[in-house]
Amino acid sequence: MKKILFILLVFVVASCSKDFEEMNTNTKSPVAVSGETLFTNAQKNLADQLASVNVNTNIWKLWARYITETTYVDEANYDIVNRTQPGNAFRTYYRNVLRDLQESAVIMEEATFAAPEDIAAKANRLAIVEILNVYAYQRLVDMFGDIPYTEALKVDETTTPKYDDAEGIYSDLFSRLNTAIAELDDANGSFGSQDIYYGGDVAMWKKFANSLKLKMAITVADVSSLNPKAAAEAAVTDGVITDASENGTLVYLGASPNTNPLYLDLVASGRHDFVATADIIDTMKFYVDPRMDLYYDLAPGATTQLGGAYGYSNAYDLYSHLTATIEEPTFESMLISVEEVEFYLAEAIERGWAVGGTAEDHYNAGITASIMYWGGDAAAATAYLADANVAYTTAPGANWKEKIGIQSWLASFNRGFIGYTTMRRLDFHTFPQPPQARTDDGSTPVRYTYPIDEQTLNGANLDAAAAAIGGDNMLTKLFWDAN
């Protein structure tokens, strides 16, 4: 990707309400704000949400076992009521991302052009907006299951939107994504510098979209009605991300308010809320993983990394912390990456899908890409892959899900939701559970429960959704979590 640095326009946005009417209220006048600017704002809001470790808005690095808490251990014990994370997720995605994308498309659609190249650029811009819509909606489905979709963001029609069937949403997202990909024309321009991920590079957006389609296909691999095999094969044929230079990222600036949220959460705040977990440290030591030094500092006063017990109070000055690299204000937020794609391809081949290469080839490529991304070198990757515990043919594990799952989880460090979803999909390992787990049986949650506010403001539709999915419980599996 092109490393695009940006200066984000700051908007005055009305304080948030806790219902869909407020989420749907347009606080950004189209007279004063262009569609392109709203698109930039949506990109920034999405990237910020993915990068943050603020426990009010993003607890996925905790649930993926990459970090655990020091003093306040609610989230590591699966408490999502105290700080209302589900409601915060609803507001972030519907109001700050999807609403901006919707308004962006409306404004840009109204613009008229005479020159063919301008007409083509407009079509590209609208297709790119649609691709991000699909990305955001998929994330919401994978958090909750059934969600407001067909009636979402339609405040003129209803402020109590129905919840749509998650499998049906996925089907429609595939259709929308296919249409957007077909509309992309890399012979013409799009956003230019207003696109803070790819600088308006349409060819890169096509690879991003196809990689997203592959990701969606792998997520629903056990749902035959969605024909995931055909979707994955078509995505690979059309071209997915194959190099780190093509990763979908946002590179932050070094000054507030445009720094990486991780920097704000961990450094500028002066707080000491997190340490490494024993789960990941012990795993990396078992595999003699060269990324351990790149992910985590040595424990204070120690000659090695040490991790705290997940869900317990852990003294900050006894255990390892995230490295300074990750805490840099300019460190990028990642939406999709080549190592992620390579592990999906390895999995696709094990499932019998025709995506080219061998499972071992893609497994090796995913590990190598991850090591290189974090600052390791080719020699370190080669040595790691030669270890009998890592080599695809000899690595421990009852099946390919364990082999691919554990290495995908290790490579997804700093991308909590990807690591957490890999845990849910592949069931590759069982970690010790925290002492005060809020789930009924003490096991790791497999979804967010619905926002508390929805119980009051959209109760009938929420109740119908809860009944449809088998109960609004953190242990109710999503439709794709079949095996």
Nearest to 216 by CA among 336, 338, 113: 336
The reported pLDDT for the residue numbered 482 is 85
The reported pLDDT for the residue numbered 430 is 86
CA distances from 119 to 110, 125, 176 (A): 12, 10, 20
Reduce the DSSP state of residue 111 to 3 states and report it: coil
Q: Which residues pair with 274 in a beta bridge?
A: 69
**What is the distance between the alpha carbons of residues 409 and 419, in angstroms, rounded to a whole number?**
5
Total Cβ atoms within 10 A of residue 8: 15
Two structure tokens written together for 27: 């606080």
Q: Identify the domain containing residue 232 by its residue range.
A: 1-24+35-252
Asked if residue 314 belongs to a domain, the reply is no
The reported pLDDT for the residue numbered 29 is 47
The reported pLDDT for the residue numbered 108 is 97
The reported pLDDT for the residue numbered 25 is 52
**What is the distance between the alpha carbons of residues 161 and 140, in angstroms, rounded to a whole number?**
15
Nearest to 94 by CA among 379, 453, 395: 453
> DSSP string spanning 45-63?
HHHHHHH---TTT--HHHH
Asked if residue 182 belongs to a domain, the reply is yes
Asked if residue 117 belongs to a domain, the reply is yes
Mean pLDDT by runs of 10 across the 483 residues of the chain is 39 37 51 89 98 96 98 97 97 98 97 93 98 99 99 94 99 99 97 97 99 99 98 99 98 93 94 98 98 98 98 98 96 98 99 99 99 97 98 95 98 98 94 96 97 96 98 98 87
Residue appearing with tokens 């129905």: 162
The reported pLDDT for the residue numbered 3 is 41
Asked if residue 453 belongs to a domain, the reply is no
The reported pLDDT for the residue numbered 15 is 31
The reported pLDDT for the residue numbered 386 is 98
**In CATH, what number is assigned to the domain containing residue 202?**
1.25.40.390
Asked if residue 378 belongs to a domain, the reply is no
Two structure tokens written together for 157: 């029609």
Our count of domains for the chain comes to 1
6-9: long-range pairs with CB below 8 Å, 24+: 6/40, 6/44, 6/193, 6/196, 6/253, 6/258, 7/253, 7/258, 8/40, 8/41, 8/44, 8/196, 8/257, 8/258, 9/37, 9/40, 9/41
Contact 47, 336 (CB under 8 A): no
Asked if residue 323 belongs to a domain, the reply is no
The reported pLDDT for the residue numbered 22 is 53
* Burial of residue 100 (number of CB atoms within 10 Å: 0-12, 13-18, 19+): buried
Asked if residue 391 belongs to a domain, the reply is no
> DSSP string spanning 247-307?
-EEEPPPSSTTSS-HHHIIIIIT----EEEBHHHHHHHHHTT-TTHHHHBPPPTT-SS---
